[in-house]
Amino acid sequence: DVKVTQSSRYLVKRTGEKVFLECVQDMDHENMFWYRQDPGLGLRLIYFSYDVKMKEKGDIPEGYSVSREKKERFSLILESASTNQTSMYLCASLTGETQYFGPGTRLLVL
């Protein structure tokens, strides 16, 4: 079974804090993705990575960065969290042509 895990299910941070969201897959997948999901807007791609140390911007990269130092781990970084980054964050990993998702991290920025 494809298994994608995310470090936290719920997270509360303050405006201006640096936030790390971690995603891990143990299936040796090359491609990994970060999305945010907001009511009425669906899933929007923030960043993706197709190999270690490789990253590409998605549709809404502003305010975010990513890190892929090891194949199994893809981190999303909010350098200075803002209230408009309150959202559900979803990580996915690719096998074949199908993306499989983690359970999500619900982030609240106060």
Partner 1 sequence: GESVGLHLPTLSVQEGDNSIINCAYSNSASDYFIWYKQESGKGPQFIIDIRSNMDKRQGQRVTVLLNKTVKHLSLQIAATQPGDSAVYFCAEKGGYSTLTFGKGTMLLVSP
CB of 97 to partner 1, least distance (A): 5
CB of 110 to partner 1, least distance (A): 17
Note the residues at the interface with partner 1 (CB under 8 A).
Answer: 4, 31, 33, 37, 39-45, 48, 50, 56, 58, 88, 90, 94, 97-104, 106
Beta carbon nearer to partner 1, 16 or 103? 103
Secondary structure, 3-state, 51-83? ECCEEEECCCCCCCEEEEEECCEEEEEECCCCH
For the chain, how many residues are written? 110
Beta carbon nearer to partner 1, 75 or 99? 99
CB of 45 to partner 1, least distance (A): 6
Report the 10 Å Cβ neighbour count for 29: 19
Q: What burial letters (b/e) apply to 46-64, b meaning 16+ CB within 10 Å? A: bbbbeeeeebeebeeeeeb
Beta carbon nearer to partner 1, 56 or 79? 56
